[in-house]
Amino acid sequence: MSFRGNHILSIDQFNRNDIEQLFSVADKLEPFASKEKITRVLEGAILGNMFFEPSTRTRISFGASFNLLGGSVREITEVGSSSLAKGESLADTAQVLSGYSDIIVMRHPENDSVKKFSEASRVPVINGGDGSNEHPSQALLDLYTIRKELSQNDKTIDNLRIALVGDLKYGRAVHSLCKILSKYKDVKLNLISPDELKLPEDLIRQMNDSRVSINQTENLEKGISEVDIIYVTRVQEERFKNKKDANKYRGLLSLNQSIYTANCEPNTVIMHPLPRDSRSDANELDSDLYENPNLAIFRQADNGVVIRMAMFALVLGVEEKIEETSKPVNWKVGLNS
Ligand code: NCD
């Protein structure tokens, strides 16, 4: 795909070269994300950050990424604060907002809504999560994290062994991650979920066609032995018709240090797109894992900034110009010890 001037709606748009290109721009942007240097390459550009569903990481990291490239951010953070609440169509909203922005990131509770919105937009639109369908920027930052974590043990994404745990039916982060993994060779996937929250059949088919080896189980202990990565997810209670039904599944698949020690290989990395549900009846990743050096969840969240910077740089066609406005930073980062 060509990034420049295009919407990013689904992982289906990408091939391995596109992913490599994005990762190499992200590598170049690391000093800017970690604030060793400043760039103003997007000075004057405006991001419309349109979130019609709750978000912490995705919204703030998209906004921070745009700011780190020198651009400004305008936001909507709930349906109630926009004219969608007055009956305006997504197409009209897109027509109007794209007149005020150079690029739009959108999250919305309905599947395919971001695609519909993009069809009426005059500027590129990035899918920040559409219902239970997809979350492409999350899959890109997840794969970037997997690549980084594995490289410390001389492993590659080809030959990856990964366990996906939790709500695989409604989890859009998992759906996009499955699509991206199916682009690599000899991937072994353990799907661990209650029977009612299994990965949708169309995704299983897509991965079978790409020769991903799939094993489905409801047994956490069995599924997490002999894997390089455990990717845990939250029960997506907001997607259930009757929210109370979600209670049945909360807490069924909880990982703690003793389960990890008893079943996992020593370097197995633990990931989670976050937020993790830390209520006592769920506790899908116990706080006793804090001391575990293989708990990568906060490194994973940090990687969201550099990946989203790379997405903006490529879509707005400035990836070769980042150094032109590069300057050292003047302030001191971090706390006094
Ligand atoms: C995920 C999402 O919104 O799909 N969160 C995120 O963007 N990091 C996962 C979730 O909400 O469980």
DSSP state, 250? T
DSSP state, 8? B
Residue with tokens 């745990």, as numbered in its chain: 165
Lookup: tokens for 91: 């197409």
Per-residue pLDDT reduced to its tens digit, 169-218: 999 999 999 999 999 999 999 999 999 999 999 999 999 999 999 999 99
Beta bridge partners of 163: 190, 230
The structural domains of the chain, ordered by start, are 11-134+304-328 (3.40.50.1370), 136-298 (3.40.50.1370)
End-to-end C-alpha distance for the chain, whole angstroms: 47
At 130, give phi and psi (nearest 5°).
-120, 105
Per-residue pLDDT reduced to its tens digit, 235-268: 999 999 999 999 999 999 999 999 999 999 999 9
Give the distance (Å) from ligand 1 centre to CA of residue 111.
14
Closest protein CA for atom 7 of ligand 1: 58
* Pairing assessment for the beta strands 327-328 and 37-38 based on DSSP bridges: antiparallel
- Confirm or reject: Cβ of 274 under 6 Å from ligand 1: yes
| pLDDT mean across residues, the chain | 95
Ligand 1 nearest atom to the CA of residue 172, by list position = 4
DSSP string, 122-137: SS-EEEEEETTTB-HH
Residue with tokens 């004219």, as numbered in its chain: 83
- Confirm or reject: Cβ of 57 under 6 Å from ligand 1: yes
Give the distance (Å) from ligand 1 centre to CA of residue 173.
6
- Confirm or reject: Cβ of 272 under 6 Å from ligand 1: no
CA atoms within 13 A on the CB side of 243: 2
Confidence band of 333 (pLDDT split at 50, 70, 90): low
- Confirm or reject: Cβ of 172 under 6 Å from ligand 1: yes
Lookup: tokens for 166: 């939790």
